[in-house]
Amino acid sequence: MGIFSGLEKIVETDYPLAKRTWYGLGGPADYLIRPKTTEQLKEVIRRCSENNLRIHVMGLGSNLLISDAGIRGAVIKLETDQFAEIHFNGENLTAWAGAELSKLVLTCVEKGLSGIEALTGVPGSIGGAVKMNAGGNFGDFGAAVQTVTLMDSEGNIFEKSKPELVFDYRRTNITAKFILNAKLKLNTADPEQIMRTVKEVWIYKKNHQPLNTKNSGCIFKNPRDVSAGALIDRAGLKGLQIGAAAVSEKHANFIIAEQGCKSSDVLRLIDAIRQRVKEQFDIELELEIEIWN
């Protein structure tokens, strides 16, 4: 622990990352670090830099596959104290990176604030939602985000606002290592009407997605003008299984981890899907899930 002497309360070694992901797969991290303040985060970054430790930033692990061998270096989670706060100011709010998106959606419903109810059922943290512009058929997070506070790999803090801040399909133009918080602009609306939208979105997801399974959401981004799930289905891959990883019968863009599954099973199935879709449709599927190895 010499590298992080004095920071023992926020550092764990040889940490089993599997229990921090929705898949429940993957090996350990050399270090799992959970800073409580931006100052602690700066100090952690400094020590990692001085010791040439690779840094990964982890949200809620909902869109993440970790290799069976685990992660060398440090995994930083911004989830405690300051990093989980949400502050409301009329139709504006500031949500810190570690706050849960699903809880924020419901809190906004209660307060009669409309703008992110389309994200009902989308798992993850605010930081992750900003980074990948989380969303679905009904809308995306970036539409409500006005400003993002960031920290670079040297510990410098700065803001990026629209129009300089650009959100696209499942991506943003943010290159900074750490997303600290996001400022959102919402609209006042009837809470009952917002709740009706929430219920409609939830019913749609319940009917179309394998919610009660071990999965990480959509594996691939949708190519232009067609859904990845439709391509995988048309390629006859629903139900395809490698090891204990299987393509969902309910939604072909979901890979389910069954009992005894390893990350390598999921990776081999991903490769098989990409190869088959490429052969049949001449389309290269791009990953939506993040893979750490």
When pLDDT is cut at 50, 70 and 90, the band that residue 73 belongs to is: very high
CA distances to 11, 100, 114, 143, 201 from 196, in Å: 43, 21, 12, 20, 9
- Predicted pLDDT at 1: 59
Question: For 107-118, what is the mean pLDDT?
Answer: 95
% of the chain beyond a pLDDT of 70 = 100
Q: Could you tell me where the DSSP H helices lie in 112-189?
A: 126-131
Question: For 45-54, what is the mean pLDDT?
Answer: 96
Q: Give kind and range of the element (H or E) at residue 56.
A: strand 55-58
% of the chain beyond a pLDDT of 90 = 95
Q: 101-110 vs 191-208: helix axis angle to the nearest 10?
A: 150
pLDDT beyond 70 at 219? yes
Question: For 145-153, what is the mean pLDDT?
Answer: 97
The answer to whether the beta carbons of residues 80 and 34 sit under 8 Å apart is: yes
pLDDT beyond 80 at 149? yes
pLDDT beyond 80 at 37? yes
Domains parsed from the chain with CATH numbers: 2-81 (3.30.43.10), 85-207 (3.30.465.10), 228-292 (3.90.78.10)
Residue 56's nearest CA partner among 170, 155, 177 is: 177
CA distances to 131, 142, 191, 244 from 93, in Å: 18, 14, 17, 43
Report the SS3 class of residue 84: helix
Total H helices, total E strands in the chain: 6, 20
Pick the more confident residue, 1 or 47: 47
245-247 and 139-140 strand pairing: unpaired
Mean pLDDT for the chain? 96
Residue 82's nearest CA partner among 42, 130, 48 is: 42
Distance CA 161, CA 200 (A): 32
pLDDT beyond 90 at 44? yes
Question: For 243-269, what is the mean pLDDT?
Answer: 98
The pLDDT tens digits of the residues spanning 187-212 come to 999 999 999 999 999 999 999 999 88
- Predicted pLDDT at 211: 86
pLDDT beyond 70 at 166? yes
Residue 248 is which amino acid?
S
pLDDT beyond 90 at 138? no
Report the SS3 class of residue 216: coil
Residue 204 is which amino acid?
Y
When pLDDT is cut at 50, 70 and 90, the band that residue 136 belongs to is: confident
φ, ψ at 246 (rounded to 5°): -135, 145
